Structure 1
Amino acid sequence: MSENKAASRYAKSLIDLSNERNALEEIKNDMVLLAQVVDENPELEAILKNPIVPLTKKAGILDNLFVGRVNEVTSAFFKLVVNKGRSAILFDTAKAFIAQYNAIKGIVTANVTSATELTAESRAEIEAIVKKEIGANQVVLNEKVNADLIGGFVLKVGDKQFDASIGSALNKLKKELALGIV
């Protein structure tokens, strides 16, 4: 079984258990914490993926980092995964958990690249459009500024892209002029 499939299955099981224990929000926060800690400390991911590091050492490191900071279900889950020899997929499991949680709650991530910083008004407008078009309950905007766009923005949601940048419009016009379409 591929590691992504295994991580996804572990995440699904943890979501089911979280729902059973009425702790979905808390465990989601724990998975976000794990993902942040691993993002900020790539050495931790290297240790978890290293087959030479003993399982007891991996479990001890996770205990030191997370005991008292996470739900007991999360703590038990970490121990279970490590004892099964699957610590290499913990980070991927956390990401899969967050993705599955977002799908359940109707939370969509939209990436917006604009020529200038978005105003509160344009941010709200983009969120409203994404909610309407995608049918999302909530939109998380990841914003990026790229002056090469000249003006406008590029919006990506999942595998869909909407390009409303002036730079793109100029390039399209340039191609049409070169082909003699206009």
Structure 2
Amino acid sequence: MSNRAAIRYAKAILESANENNTAAVLFGDMQSVYGTIEGSRELQTVLQSPVIKAEDKKEALLKIFSGQSGTTHSLIKVLVANKRTPLLGKVAKTYIDLYNEEQGIKVANVITAVPLSSELEAKVMAKIKELTGSEKVSLKSEIDPEIIGGFILRVGDIQYDASIVNQFRMLKREFKNQYN
């Protein structure tokens, strides 16, 4: 239920932003809102808490996001009025996804063992273009030392695993199959 509600709110503000030619500005706002909420366990707790009064939540959110647009402030007020403040992060994430989809931007998640070098980033971007056929790509990078080297790429439902740990797994499987 909450996901459907988040989608409805996100679609409504995207539609409004498109009518007012502020979709790109609101996209920046929603990235900030989502990043702030995801990065703060305390803020997530406040949004979820039934003990904290709605008016206090609204006041806190409006202070935290004081630099955002009027549309973002209106969204916060509507969510507070409808007792839906826990949805704010989901609404922001859904808006980001809808905006990217509308703009034809593919979001790619890449996992590497070390921070992306410009050389590896170029290889990853080339692979994304090969897999999706899209020139518009937003790249999100994550570091996981467990993969040893190479990269794991996810774009939508597509996953491409060029990690060293995956190559070791494949080698192990080959040896098992040959000698069993």
TM-score (structure 1 length as normaliser): 0.85
Within a 5 Å distance, the mapping from 1:99-138 to structure 2 comes to 99-136=97-134, 137-138=136-137
Matches within 5 A, 1:1-182: 2-67=1-66, 69-136=67-134, 137-146=136-145, 148-180=146-178
- Matches of 2:149 and 2:165 in 1, distance apart? 7
User: Which one-letter code corresponds to 1:45 in the other structure?
Assistant: Q
Percent identity between matched residues is 33
Distance change >3 Å, CA 111–CA 138, structure 1 → 2: closer
Please report how far the alpha carbon of residue 73 of structure 1 lies from its aligned counterpart in structure 2 after TM superposition: 1.6
Summarize the Cα distance change of 1:125–1:179 in structure 2 as closer, same or farther, 3 Å threshold.
Answer: closer
Deviation of the 1:179 alpha carbon: 2.0
Give me the whole-angstrom Cα distance separating, in 2, the residues matched to 1:85 and 1:92.
14
Instruction: Identify unmatched segments of 5+ residues in structure 1.
Output: none
Describe the SS at the equivalent of 1:110.
strand
**Matches of 2:72 and 2:112 in 1, distance apart?**
39
CA distance in structure 2 between the partners assigned to 1:94 and 1:143 by the alignment: 21
Separation (CA, whole Å) in 1 of partners of 2:26 and 2:10: 11
Give the CA RMSD over aligned residues: 2.3
Q: 1:112 to 1:5 in 2, by over 3 A?
A: same
Quick one: structure 1 residues 5 and 178, their matched pair in 2 at CA, closer, same or farther if it must change by over 3 Å?
same
Q: Which runs of 5+ in 2 are unaligned?
A: none
One-letter code of the match for 2:48? K
Select the structure of larger CA radius of gyration.
1
Q: Following the alignment from structure 2 to structure 1, what is the Cα–Cα distance between the partners of residues 68 and 112?
A: 37
Residues 54/115 of structure 1: CA separation in 2 closer, same or farther (3 Å cut): closer
How far 1:28 moved relative to its partner?
Answer: 1.1
Contact between 1:127 and 1:139, CA under 8 Å: does it hold in 2?
Answer: no
What is the CA distance between 1:115 and its match in structure 2? 4.7
- Greater CA drift, 50-59 or 9-18: 50-59
The size of the alignment, in residue pairs, is: 179
Residue 14 of structure 1 aligns with an amino acid whose one-letter code is I
What SS is found at the alignment partner of 1:52? coil
**Over residues 68-116 of structure 1, what are the superposed CA-to-partner deviations in whole Å (9 max), with x where a residue is unaligned?**
x111121112111111111111111111111111212222332333455
Q: What is the TM-score normalised by the length of structure 2?
A: 0.85
Deviation at 1:15, TM superposition (A): 0.4
